[in-house]
Amino acid sequence: MKDAAKLVGVDYRTIKLGIESGTIPTVQLGPRRMIPRVPLLRVFGIDA
* pLDDT tens column, 3-48: 999 999 999 999 999 999 999 999 999 999 999 999 999 999 998 7
Report the alpha-carbon distance of residue 36 to residue 46 in Å, rounded: 14
Domain ranges of the chain: 2-43
Task: Report the pLDDT value the prediction gives residue 47, as an integer from 0 to 100.
Answer: 86
Task: Report the pLDDT value the prediction gives residue 48, as an integer from 0 to 100.
Answer: 73
Q: Which of 19, 28, 24 is nearest to 41 (CA)?
A: 24
CB neighbour burial string for 12-46, b if at least 16 within 10 angstroms, e if fewer: eebbeebbeeeebebeeeeeeeebeeeebeeeeee
Q: Using an 8 Å Cβ cutoff, are 14 and 3 in contact?
A: no
In one-letter notation, the amino acid at residue 21 is S
